[in-house]
Amino acid sequence: MYQVIKRDGKIADFDLSKIAHAIKLAFDAQEKQYNQDIIDFLALKVTANFQPKIQNNLVAVEDVQDSVESVLVQAGYDDVAKAYILYRKQREKIRNM
């Protein structure tokens, strides 16, 4: 299994449930109906999307997040992708304070 390079440079084991949770939060932010099967499917699509970016079994967290955005848009969930992007920008502002 691969690992994720976090922003602080630390390495963590890849956890698919974190991707699913982030997608779920974006759906909730838009008050959009979903079921767990859709969330799980989208999370798996994200892993397929960032496969080319894996080097030495490592992938950067930014690449994972970019893949989440891309998959949401490709699946027709533009509004959910926008909520996810806004959340990322808010977190970036907090980190840069």
Q: Report how far residue 9's alpha carbon sits from residue 73's, in angstroms, rounded to the nearest whole number.
A: 28
| Per-residue pLDDT, 92 | 81
Check: CB of residue 68 under 8 Å from CB of residue 50: no
Q: What is the CA radius of gyration of the chain?
A: 13
Domain ranges of the chain: 3-95
Tens of pLDDT along 34-74?
Answer: 999 999 999 999 999 999 999 999 999 999 999 999 999 99
- Residue 93, pLDDT > 90, answer no
| Mean of all residue pLDDT scores within the chain | 95
Categorize the per-residue pLDDT at 79 as very low, low, confident or very high, splitting at 50, 70 and 90: very high
